[in-house]
Amino acid sequence: MENQISSKSTMLNYGLVLGLTTIFINLIAYAIGIHLDQDWRIGLLGFIAMIIIIVLGIRNFKAVNSNLITWGQCVKIGVGISIISAVIGVVYNLIFINFIEPEFMNLLMEKQVMAWEEANMTSEQIEGAKSMMETFSSPAITSAIGIVAAAFFGFIISAIAGAIMKRTEEDQY
């Protein structure tokens, strides 16, 4: 067991990889002009990247630690990777909204208002929805929601992976 690595280094390394992968996906969406569309394919690509990188992180930790890992370690590593990635994503989003595309929130609101108008919402309904959207679009709220959502999905992914990949010394006998 001399080659053991800590779960912290695994979380940091794979969290950084996932965070950078997510940024790369978002930059591609921006470059091809679909960043305002909230395209489900971009979300799916990000989710697939999350699954792959969390599983790779857990697998790496297990391989380096004598092929042993508990379910709890799997969950801890997966949630840690997700939260570190989410923090990186929050920093990127703040940079994107404040420096790269300062009009992003206004453009997103305009696009959403057009969609509401096409859905035949009344002007009162649109104003109420705009007010709600503005409230939930503040940097603090979007950051908190992003981190909580990442932790939730990281838990689900790592709990499933942990149930499949766990292996303790008792399992060997």
Task: Give residue-wise pLDDT tens across range 119-131.
Answer: 999 999 999 999 9
Output the average pLDDT for the chain. Answer: 93
> Which bin fits 11, alpha (ψ -120 to 50), beta or left (φ > 0)?
alpha
Question: What domain range is 19 assigned to?
Answer: 7-170
pLDDT band at residue 5, thresholds of 50, 70 and 90? confident
31 falls within a domain: yes
34 falls within a domain: yes
Please count the structural domains in the chain. 1
Given a cut of 80, whether residue 4 has pLDDT beyond it is no
Residue 165 token pair: 């990949």
Given a cut of 90, whether residue 3 has pLDDT beyond it is no
1 falls within a domain: no
